[in-house]
Amino acid sequence: MRWATRRGVHIDRAACAWLIRRFLDPDAQFVFVTDPAHTPPDATGFDMRGIDLSHHTGDDGTADCTFETILRRHDLTDPVLWKIAEIVHEADLDDERYDAPEAPGLDVVLRGLSMVCTDDQRVLELTGPLFDGLYEFHRRATLLGREPA
């Protein structure tokens, strides 16, 4: 399946691409567009204005980032994914809804990467293992009930 998002991938889109490939569609192909209107007709868009798989604000004013929206839409209830969602949310929105001390660091890593790597496919190749690691870390932490070694 083809998936489309905006060019110049940052934390939310990188995390979503990882999530899609690992949990929804192992054969996912990603295309990057400058304008949401240029989304190919056969592609599912994400993290773009005016579409469903994107940011959403609740009636109480709390916002979800796209990563959280995808988890909700696809009924992904894995607590480890929701832990990653908190980190991605804070790195992306920085609204202090969650306590995620990893977020400022991850934000800087991704912003720095986008300065030396302008090829979005390459950014996904590089960040994929990063999120694999983050998932494994928090999976073990959840099982142990403490920080894994």
d(CA 51, CA 112): 28
Choices 17-25, 60-68, 82-90, 128-136; region in contact with another protein by CB under 8 A? 60-68
* Smallest gap from residue 89 Cβ to another protein (A): 12
Q: Among residues 22, 28, 114, 117, which is the contact residue for another protein, using CB under 8 A?
A: 114
Choices 18-26, 54-62, 72-80, 136-144; region in contact with another protein by CB under 8 A? 54-62
Which residues within the stretch 75-104 sit at the binding site for another protein (CB under 8 A)?
A: 94-95, 104
* Smallest gap from residue 77 Cβ to another protein (A): 25
CA distances from 86 to 6, 43, 69, 93, 146 (A): 22, 27, 12, 10, 18
d(CA 101, CA 77): 22
31 φ/ψ angles, rounded to the nearest 5 degrees: -120, 145
